[in-house]
Amino acid sequence: MFSNLEIKEEGSLTILAINRPAQLNSLDTEVLQEMGKWLGENRDQGRILIITGKGEKAFVAGADIAAMKDMTPLEAEQFSSLGQRVFSLLYHWPAPTIAAINGYALGGGCELSLFCDFRYMKKGAKIGQPEITLGIIPGFGGTYFLKKIIGEALAKDLIFTGRLLSAEEAKEYGLVHMILEEEDFLSSVIKHVKNLEDKSLLALRSAKNTINDDDISQALIKERTLFAELFSSHDQKEGMSAFLEKRKPNFKNSD
């Protein structure tokens, strides 16, 4: 039914894996639309949900740069809006959600994990918001959620520099809850999530609904507006071209 998702159930858990390992599970319009469709259709089931990526290298290594490179500002705004809508479905999923970060979680991949309630990270994985190196900013909610989760100073550090964090650094920052070293990472995540299964699902849903009772809409609108405006800039075109050509970008940092 879904060409880019793999979905399976294990006990009271549902595991949703982004299934584009050859593209490091990068997000394009089709992937986001499939995620949105599945999340919308299955919301009423309200099962505990684990999000992960297929393969050994990546959770989600960001949005698809090749697909974004030539977007107009309007197309960029629409792409950002789609990502924010889909991730908001995840944020408002009635039961607990867990990001099982099995590899690179960059850009949109980091943002995807931020919309989850828990983040478990495999030792050796990397996480961050490197959009600044492409001449853009996070567009799927990163500017809001990084500040919310790790504080303004650390959020600025990651977004302004674009640097990536190791699992150990991410744990120190409070960005991830737990580092798992076991070879069978997903099985280890499932084992640790089991402590939620014997809790009252009704009470878990009520607790999540209360904790998440804030209005994120205005922050997301501002982010996607500024994200889209950058797609009319020299720096966005240069940054994404340089990324695809595997060279250092030459940003226009003066008038």
Q: Which two tokens stand for residue 115?
A: 């919309």
Count CB neighbours of 187 within 10 A.
12
Q: According to the 3-state scheme, what is the secondary structure of 82-110?
A: HHHHHHHHHHCCCCCEEEEECCEEECHHH
Check if 77 is active-site: no
The catalytic position among 131, 183, 223, 245 is 131
Task: State the DSSP code for 64.
Answer: -
What one-character DSSP code corresponds to residue 233?
A: S
Compute the chain's Rg from CA coordinates: 18
**Catalytic member of 6, 111, 197, 238:** 111
Provide the greatest CA pair distance for the chain: 61
CA distance 180 to 186: 9
Q: Is 131 one of the annotated active-site residues of the chain?
A: yes
Phi, psi of 174 (to 5 degrees): 85, 15
Asked if residue 90 lies in contact with residue 141, where contact means CB atoms within 8 angstroms, the answer is no
Task: Please identify which residue in the block is written with the tokens 């409070």.
Answer: 174
CB 170 within 8 A of CB 110: no
Strand 164-166 relative to strand 126-128, pairing: antiparallel
Provide the annotated active-site residues: 111, 131
